[in-house]
Structure 1
Amino acid sequence: MGESDWGDWLPTAVAAADPDTVAVWYLGCNGFVLKGSEGTTLFVDPYCGLGDPPRTVRMLPVPFDPTDVTDADAVLATHEHSDHVHGPTQAPILAATGADYYAPDASMAVVDRAGWTDDWGVVSEQFVTVTEGDEFDVGEFTVHVVPVNDPDADHPVGYVFEHDAGTVFHGGDTRPDESFPDLADRFDIDLGVLAFGSAGTILDKETREPTRTQWYATENEVIRAANALELDRVLPSHWDVWKGLNADPTALHHHARSFPYPERLEVVEIGDRIDL
């Protein structure tokens, strides 16, 4: 678990915000907070860990201490990797707020093995296992669990968050997927979060030998996914966190400019807020 030197300003800003529509804060890596106009607050894949140096080295600050989070209605995980299901980050939020935790079965298996109910005082009733096709309401949001394409995960899912003010898609670490045109037909997505990164040399998890690694979509894959989903705005994530896999999100302007989608590229940094 990383120690934040940001103080409590970010969770305080989220708690104090009174958005007219839906406010979205980027937490770095692939973490986000969504807050609606009625105050419903959702955390998606928040991560305050430091990785596994020297294999994975965090290259950006830890933006908050999870014990400073006082407002959350739900925490959602897209898949089971440690920067998406992280007990030291997510369990204290659940324990302090009573929020429900939504995640697919492979993610819940990580939760069980890590003993969240034993070590952090979270109760089993807070855990809801989801799968593709599920739909549920959290306050003013309707959440749809949708298929994605993350070849490195055991059971990844994405989420479509519908709100009166607009619709947000969070694809986890997805690459382009054959299901995306169907999602474009079902939903008018205002803002889509797509993981983006370079290929690099990372130590193999088992052998610790340097290995060419690609965990996230390339520039061309991000724009392919954005066009398949017909995204009004695309927000690239994950490009900032791991040493060796960093990328320049502004390069996406060149890849996107001759295509109809996205209509706008949202390049944000950790701690930034945008609104629907």
Structure 2
Amino acid sequence: MITSDWGDWLPRAIDAADPESVAVWYLGCNGFVVKGSNGTTLFVDPYLGTGDPPRTVRMIPVPFDPADVVDAEAVFATHEHSDHVHGESQAPILESTGAPFVAPDASLAAAREDQGWEDRWDLTDEQFREVSEGDVLEIGEFTVHVVEVNDPDAEHPVGYVFEHDEGTVFHPGDSRPADSFAALGREFDIDLGILAFGTAGMIPDKQTREPTYTKWYNDEGEAVEAASALRLDRLLPSHWDMWKGLTADPTALHEHVASFEHPKRLDLVEIGDRVDL
């Protein structure tokens, strides 16, 4: 059972919102809600857990209880890590809304085999939808393209390009710069691109619990390299707020992006913030 630090104001605000184009809410970590002008509401990598202390320690509030979500057309996972596939965060949304869980094979295995979602929540087989690179989905007013990314720490990561008549959002999970990004930048006019940003730190090893040098996300140079290849209009750095010892200062990106044509704009947001295309 998840208890929110904020009550239910954020899911109520999302449900009541009537965006003129596409609205995007940052949920902290690498979680987002994308809502279109006709009301289609998509969740991507929502994570409301506290980590695995003392190895991973959550540094930000738990913004909502998933049981308070009343509308979702789909919940997407980019890869199988526990802060992207998490039953307590995501299965209650699927149970209450009937939305599908859209994910690559390793993420589905984490949900169904490792975490046993179907044994713990009232979910149907049809709610688990496997996708892979090259797939194209039509969900409400969005066309969703499943694309190749580069997360060396994941078994099978994918990214999602969310196309809408009013603009395009790209969420590549925890990807570093990828060979595919230049082609994606030519194929899609990406209004808002999300890139996981962080630093390196000494994090306890999963088995030995000994402090170990750890780097999970893009540093400043990698973030700019990826944003430039993708030809982003707007770059939104994520994940920098989450784990003790791996937090970072996103304002550092201002100087790094200054001399590049892309991104044209840097959107710095905190947990609970909304941006519009």
Give the match for residue 129 of structure 1.
130
AA aligned to 2:55 is R
Q: TM-score, normalised by structure 2?
A: 0.99
Give the match for residue 3 of structure 1.
3
Distance across 2 between alignment mates of 1:188 and 1:23 = 17
What are the equivalent positions in structure 2 for 1:41-120 lying under 5 Å apart?
A: 41-113=41-113, 114-120=115-121
The CA RMSD measured in Å over matched residues stands at 0.7
Give the match for residue 151 of structure 1.
152
- Aligned-partner SS, 2:153: coil
Deviation (angstroms), 1:118: 1.4
Give the match for residue 202 of structure 2.
201
Give the match for residue 29 of structure 2.
29
Identify the range of structure 1 (2-11 vs 178-187) with the bigger mean alpha-carbon deviation: 2-11
Distance across 2 between alignment mates of 1:105 and 1:206 = 25
Which aligned segments of 4 or more residues in structure 1 are displaced greater than 3 angstroms?
Answer: none
What are the equivalent positions in structure 2 for 1:206-245 lying under 5 Å apart?
A: 206-245=207-246
Deviation (angstroms), 1:215: 0.3
Deviation (angstroms), 1:115: 1.3
Deviation (angstroms), 1:3: 2.1
- Aligned-partner SS, 1:221: helix
Contact 2:2–2:88, Cα closer than 8 Å, also in 1: no
Contact 1:72–1:93, Cα closer than 8 Å, also in 2: yes
- Aligned-partner SS, 1:59: coil
Distance across 1 between alignment mates of 2:43 and 2:37 = 16
Distance across 1 between alignment mates of 2:185 and 2:11 = 33
AA aligned to 1:30 is N
AA aligned to 1:75 is V
Give the match for residue 168 of structure 1.
169
- Aligned-partner SS, 1:267: coil
CA deviation profile, 1:160-180 (whole Å, cap 9, x unmatched): 000000000001000001110
AA aligned to 1:221 is E
Contact 1:67–1:96, Cα closer than 8 Å, also in 2: yes
Q: TM-score, normalised by structure 1?
A: 0.99
Deviation (angstroms), 1:238: 0.1
- Aligned-partner SS, 2:168: strand
- Aligned-partner SS, 1:24: strand
Deviation (angstroms), 1:257: 0.2
Distance across 2 between alignment mates of 1:110 and 1:177 = 24
Distance across 2 between alignment mates of 1:118 and 1:3 = 22
Contiguous gaps of at least 5 residues in structure 1:
none
Distance across 1 between alignment mates of 2:256 and 2:204 = 30
Contact 1:3–1:62, Cα closer than 8 Å, also in 2: yes
Give the match for residue 191 of structure 2.
190
Deviation (angstroms), 1:185: 1.2
Distance across 1 between alignment mates of 2:226 and 2:116 = 36
Deviation (angstroms), 1:206: 1.3
Contiguous gaps of at least 5 residues in structure 2:
none
Pairs aligned (count) = 276
CA deviation profile, 1:142-162 (whole Å, cap 9, x unmatched): 000000000000000000000
Percentage identity across paired residues of the two chains: 71
Contact 1:31–1:44, Cα closer than 8 Å, also in 2: yes
AA aligned to 1:22 is V
Distance across 1 between alignment mates of 2:264 and 2:35 = 23
Distance across 2 between alignment mates of 1:77 and 1:148 = 13
